[in-house]
C-alpha cells in the first residue's frame, strides 16, 4: 500500500469537502448582503464585522432549535431525506479538477479527487439521484403540502435534466471527450466553450437554476401555495441540511459551469504570464494562481445566481413546464444539430 | 496483485449478497414505497457489478436511466395513489396455492435448464471492453443498423405515447 497516495487523496477529499462547506456557509451571508444591496438596505451587520459571523450564529441557532419528528411519519425515511440531499450534494464535487497539477518530489499530483473517463455522465447520474432526498423527505413527512412540494420538485428536476443532458451532449460532440479534465485542458489557449457554443451554455445555465431549485424556479418551496414545500415538517438541523444542500449544489453547479464553459483554471494569456514570471510546469504558484482564477469565476457565477433570484419573480407552474418541455428541449436538439454540422464543416474544410 | 484480486472478490460477494437481499425485500415488504426504494438499492448493487466488470459507461447509464428516471416515476405514481397495505385486497388460499405451484414449476424449469449449461471462462476479452471509446466503436461500426433500428423503435414508442396522452379534440 502506497501511504503517500492515500494521504494525498485524503487531503484532497477533505480540502474539497471543506471548501464546499465553507463556501456554502458564506453564500448565505453573501446572499443576504447582496439582497440588501439590491433593496437598498444594510443587511446583517450585528454579528462580527460586516456581519461576518452571521452564518455561525445561524448554525448555532439551527442546532439549538427543538427537533420535531411527526408521530405519524416514517422515522427512518424522515431522517434519510435530508441525509441523502447532503450526500448527493457533496458527491458531485468529486470529478471537478480544481487547479493544474502540482509537482512534489518530482511526482505530479492532480488537484482532483478522481479523474474517471466518464466524468460528465457521473455528474448527471448523481444529479438524477438527488431527487430521492427530496421525494423521500416529502413523502415521509405525511403531510399533503410536503408531498405536493416534493412532487413538484422532482417533476421539475426530471424535466430540466433532459434539457441539461442534451446541452451537455452538444458540448461532448464539440470536445469529443467525456472527461472533465480533458475538456478543461482543451480550453488551455484562453478560448472558452461558452464562446463557441453559446446556446448550449444558456440552456445549461437555465437548467442549473431549475435543478438547484433557485428562483425563478423555486416553486417547490412556494410559500403562498405550499407553506414551506417539501420541508414544511422539518425543523432544527434537518431543515438546515435541506437549505445547506441547496447552497452546496449552487456552488458545485457554478464550478461545473465555470469549468465546462469558461475554462476553469485557464485564463487568456496564462502561458505568457507564467513565462514572464519564470514558472515551469508543476510549480506550486501555477496551481495557486489557477485555483484563484477558478474560484473568482465560481464566485461570479454564485453572485449571478443571487442577482437573478432577487430580480425575477417566480414562474407559474405551467409556465415552468412549458419552458422546459416546449422551449428548452427543442432548442437544445436544434443546438445539437448546429454543433454537429459546425464541427463537421470545421474538421473537413478548415483543417 | 493477490491482495487486489481478493478485494475484488470480497466486493463481488458483498454486492451479490446485497443485490439478492434487496431483491427479496422488494417482494417481502408490505409497503409499496419501501418496495420501490429496495428496488433502487438493487439497481445500485447491479451497477456496482458493472463497475467490477470494467463497464463504467453501462454502470452510469444504468443509474441515470433506471434509478434516476424510471424508479422516480414509479415513486411518483405510488405516492400519488397513496397505496397502503390495508387497502390491498386479501387473496384467498386457493389463489395462493396456485401461485406457489406456478412459481415452483418455473423454478424447476429454470434449475433444469441451467443445470446442464456450462459457463465458459472468457479469456480473450478486452479489459477495456466496457470503456466508452470501445463501446462507441463497436456500436457505430459493427452494429450500426441494429442501433439505428432500435432508435427508430424508441421514436415510434415516443410518438405513440404522445398520441395516447393527447386530449381528444371534441368535434
Q: Is residue A334 part of a domain?
A: yes
Into how many domains does chain A fold?
Answer: 1
User: Which of A116, A118, A154 is opposite residue B72, by nearest beta carbon?
Assistant: A154
Chain B nearest C-alpha distance from A122 (Å): 6
Q: Residue A240 and residue A58: Cα distance in Å, rounded? A: 9
- Residues A331-345, mean pLDDT to the nearest whole number: 90
- Separation of first and last alpha carbons in chain A: 47
pLDDT of residue A215 exceeding 70: yes
Q: Answer whether residue A63 is part of any domain.
A: no
Which CATH number does the domain housing residue B49 bear?
1.20.120.1200
Structural domain contains residue A150: yes
Give me the domain span that covers residue A97: 72-349
Q: Are residues B78 and B151 in the same domain?
A: no
**Spatial CA neighbour of A334 closest among A166, A204, A176:** A166
Which chain B positions have a beta carbon within 8 Å of A131's beta carbon?
68, 72
Helix or strand (DSSP H, E) at A110: strand A107-111
Q: What pLDDT does residue B19 have?
A: 92
How far is Cα B168 from Cα A5, in angstroms, rounded to an integer?
64
Residue pair A226/A148 in contact by the 8 Å Cβ criterion: yes
Cβ-Cβ contacts under 8 Å, B67 against chain A:
128-129
How many separate domains does chain B show?
A: 2
User: Contact at 8 Å (CB) between A96 and A252?
Assistant: yes
Please list every residue in chain A whose beta carbon sits closer than 8 Å to the beta carbon of residue B73. Answer: 158
Cβ neighbors of A235 (< 8 A, separation 6 or more) are A65, A66, A67, A68
- Nearest-10 Cα torsion for B66, B79, A234, A299: 40
Winning range, highest mean pLDDT, from A48-52, A125-129, A233-237: A125-129
Angle of the A144-175 helix axis to the B71-81 helix axis, nearest 10: 160
Cα nearest neighbour of B68 on chain A: A128
Cα–Cα distance between A43 and A33 in angstroms, integer?
Answer: 5
Number of alpha helices (DSSP H) and beta strands (DSSP E) in chain A: 14, 2
The set of cell numbers assigned to A190 is: 484562453
Cell of B137: 466503436
Q: Is A310 among the domain residues?
A: yes
Q: At what angle do helices A329-349 and A198-211 cross, to 10 degrees?
A: 150
The contacts of residue A199 (CB under 8 Å, 6+ apart) are A170, A331, A332, A334, A335, A338
Q: Which of A128-132, A265-269, A291-295, B14-18 has the highest mean pLDDT?
A: B14-18
Residue A35 has pLDDT above 80, yes or no: yes
User: Is the pLDDT at A79 greater than 60, yes or no?
Assistant: yes
Contact B69 A151 (CB under 8 A): no
CA dihedral A285, A288, A289, A291 (to 10 degrees): 150
Residues 6+ apart with CB under 8 A from A160: A206, A207, A210, A211, A217, A324, A328
Cβ distance of A128 and B67 shorter than 8 Å: yes
CB-based contact B72 A151, cutoff 8 Å:
no
Q: Which of B57, B64, B132 sits opposite A124 (nearest CB)?
A: B64
| Residue B161 domain flag | yes
* DSSP code at position A153: H
> Residue A314: inside a domain, yes or no?
yes
Q: pLDDT class for A232, splitting at 50, 70, 90?
A: confident
Residue B17 lies in a domain: yes
Same domain, B81 and B1: yes
* Cα radius of gyration (chain A): 21
pLDDT in tens, A158-169: 888 888 889 988
Least confident of A47-56, A175-184, B77-86, B122-131: B122-131
Q: What is the CA radius of gyration of chain B?
A: 21
A132 touches chain B (CB under 8 A): yes
**The cell 438524477 sits on which residue?**
A128
**Out of B33, B79, B131, closest to residue A117 by CB:** B131
Please tell me which residue of chain A has the smallest CA distance to B67: A129
Look at B68 and A136 and tell me if their CB atoms are within 8 Å.
no
Share of chain A above pLDDT 90, in %: 2
Q: Is residue B101 part of a domain?
A: no
Instruction: Count interface pairs A-B at CB distance under 8 A.
Output: 56
Measured between CA atoms, how close is B60 to chain A, in angstroms?
6
Taking contacts as CB-CB distances below 8 angstroms, the residues of chain A near B72 are 128, 131-132, 135, 154, 158
Percent of chain A with pLDDT over 70: 96
Interacting residues of A343 by C-beta distance below 8 A, sequence separation 6+: A173, A174
Instruction: Kindly state whether residue A102 falls inside one of the protein's structural domains.
Output: yes
- With CB atoms and an 8 Å threshold, state whether A117 touches B64: no
Q: Which residues of B touch A117 (CB under 8 A)?
A: 56, 131-132
Chain A contact for B37 (CB, 8 A cutoff): yes
The answer to whether the CB atoms of B68 and A118 lie below 8 A apart is no
Contact: B56, A129; criterion CB under 8 Å: no
Q: In this structure, what C-alpha cell is assigned to residue A118?
A: 466518464
A219 by DSSP, 3-state: which? helix
Within a domain: A170: yes
* Least reliable range by pLDDT among A77-81, A260-264, A268-272: A268-272
User: Å from A121 to nearest chain B CA?
Assistant: 7
Query: What is the dihedral sign for C-alpha B132, B134, B135, B140?
Result: positive
ipTM above 0.95, yes or no: no
Sign of the CA dihedral with B74 first, then B75, B78, and B80 last = negative
B76 and B154 belong to one structural domain: no
Contacts of A155 in chain B (CB under 8 A): 76
| B136 interaction partners in chain A (CB closer than 8 Å) | none
Give, for B16, the enclosing helix (H) or strand (E).
helix B2-28
| CB proximity B129 to A under 8 Å | no
Spans of chain B, pLDDT less than 50: none
Neighbours of B138 (CB within 10 A): 12
Whether the CB-CB separation of A133 and A83 falls below 8 Å is answered with yes
- Give the domain-ending residue among B26, B53, B85: B85
Of the candidates A254, A245, A253, which has an alpha carbon nearest to the alpha carbon of residue A300? A254
Which long-range contacts does A304-308 make (Cβ < 8 Å, 24+ apart)?
Answer: A305/A209, A305/A212, A305/A214, A305/A250, A305/A254, A306/A30, A306/A31, A306/A34, A306/A35, A307/A34, A307/A38, A308/A209, A308/A214, A308/A215, A308/A216
Residue linked to cell 417539501: A230
Structural domain that includes position B154: 136-171
Q: Output the CA angle B5-B11-B16, nearest 5 degrees.
A: 125
- Quote the cell numbers at residue A255: 464550478
Asked whether the beta carbons of residue B76 and residue A122 sit closer than 8 angstroms, the reply is no
The answer to whether the Cβ–Cβ distance between B56 and A118 falls below 8 Å is: yes
Looking at the structure, tell me whether residues B153 and B81 fall in a common domain.
no
B132 touches A at CB < 8 Å: yes
Amino acid at each position: 500500500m502506497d501511504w503517500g497516495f492515500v494521504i494525498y487523496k485524503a487531503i484532497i477529499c477533505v480540502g474539497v469537502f471543506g471548501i464546499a462547506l465553507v463556501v456554502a456557509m458564506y453564500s448565505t451571508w453573501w446572499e443576504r448582503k447582496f439582497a440588501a444591496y439590491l433593496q437598498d438596505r444594510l443587511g446583517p451587520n450585528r454579528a462580527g464585522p460586516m456581519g461576518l459571523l452571521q452564518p455561525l450564529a445561524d448554525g448555532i441557532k439551527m442546532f439549538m432549535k427543538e427537533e420535531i419528528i411527526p408521530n405519524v411519519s416514517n422515522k427512518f425515511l424522515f431522517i434519510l431525506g435530508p441525509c441523502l440531499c447532503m450526500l448527493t450534494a457533496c458527491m458531485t464535487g468529486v470529478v471537478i479538477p480544481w487547479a493544474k497539477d502540482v509537482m512534489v518530489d518530482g511526482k505530479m499530483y492532480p488537484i482532483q479527487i478522481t479523474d474517471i473517463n466518464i466524468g460528465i455522465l457521473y455528474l448527471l447520474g448523481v444529479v438524477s439521484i438527488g431527487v430521492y432526498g427530496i421525494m423521500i423527505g416529502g413523502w415521509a413527512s405525511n403531510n399533503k403540502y410536503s408531498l405536493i412540494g416534493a412532487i413538484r420538485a422532482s417533476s421539475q428536476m426530471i424535466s430540466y435534466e433532459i434539457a441539461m443532458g442534451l446541452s451537455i451532449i452538444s458540448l461532448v460532440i464539440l470536445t469529443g471527450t467525456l472527461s472533465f479534465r480533458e475538456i478543461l485542458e482543451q480550453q488551455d489557449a484562453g478560448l472558452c466553450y461558452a464562446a463557441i457554443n453559446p446556446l448550449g451554455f444558456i440552456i445549461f445555465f437555465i437548467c442549473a437554476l431549475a435543478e438547484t431549485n433557485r428562483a425563478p424556479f423555486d416553486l417547490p418551496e412556494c410559500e403562498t401555495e405550499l407553506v414551506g414545500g417539501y420541508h414544511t415538517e422539518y425543523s432544527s438541523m434537518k431543515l438546515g441540511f435541506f437549505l445547506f444542500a441547496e447552497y452546496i449544489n449552487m456552488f458545485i453547479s457554478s464550478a461545473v459551469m465555470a469549468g465546462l464553459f469558461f475554462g476553469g483554471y485557464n485564463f487568456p494569456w496564462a502561458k505568457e504570464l507564467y513565462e514572464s514570471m519564470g514558472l515551469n510546469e508543476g510549480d506550486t504558484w501555477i496551481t495557486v494562481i489557477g485555483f484563484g482564477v477558478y474560484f473568482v469565476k465560481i464566485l461570479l457565477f454564485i453572485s449571478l445566481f443571487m442577482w437573478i433570484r432577487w430580480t425575477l419573480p417566480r414562474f407559474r407552474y405551467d409556465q415552468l413546464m412549458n419552458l422546459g418541455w416546449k422551449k428548452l428541449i427543442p432548442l437544445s436538439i436544434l443546438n445539437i444539430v448546429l454543433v454537429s454540422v459546425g464541427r463537421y464543416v470545421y474538421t473537413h474544410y478548415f483543417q | 496483485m493477490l491482495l487486489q484480486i481478493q478485494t475484488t472478490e470480497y466486493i463481488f460477494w458483498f454486492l451479490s449478497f446485497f443485490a439478492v437481499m434487496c431483491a427479496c425485500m422488494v417482494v417481502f415488504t408490505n409497503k409499496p414505497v419501501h418496495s420501490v426504494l429496495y428496488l433502487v438499492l438493487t439497481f445500485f448493487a447491479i451497477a456496482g457489478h458493472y463497475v467490477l466488470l470494467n463497464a463504467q459507461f453501462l454502470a452510469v447509464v444504468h443509474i441515470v436511466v433506471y434509478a434516476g428516471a424510471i424508479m422516480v416515476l414509479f415513486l411518483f405514481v405510488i405516492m400519488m395513489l397513496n397505496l397502503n397495505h390495508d387497502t390491498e385486497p386479501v387473496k384467498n388460499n386457493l389463489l395462493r396455492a396456485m401461485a406457489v405451484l406456478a412459481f415452483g414449476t418455473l423454478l424447476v424449469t429454470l434449475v433444469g435448464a441451467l443445470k446442464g449449461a456450462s459457463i465458459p471462462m472468457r479469456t480473450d476479452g478486452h479489459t477495456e471492453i466496457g470503456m466508452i471509446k470501445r463501446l462507441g466503436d463497436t456500436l457505430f461500426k459493427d452494429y450500426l443498423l441494429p442501433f439505428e433500428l432500435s432508435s427508430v423503435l424508441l421514436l415510434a414508442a415516443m410518438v405513440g405515447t404522445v398520441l395516447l396522452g393527447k386530449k381528444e379534440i371534441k368535434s
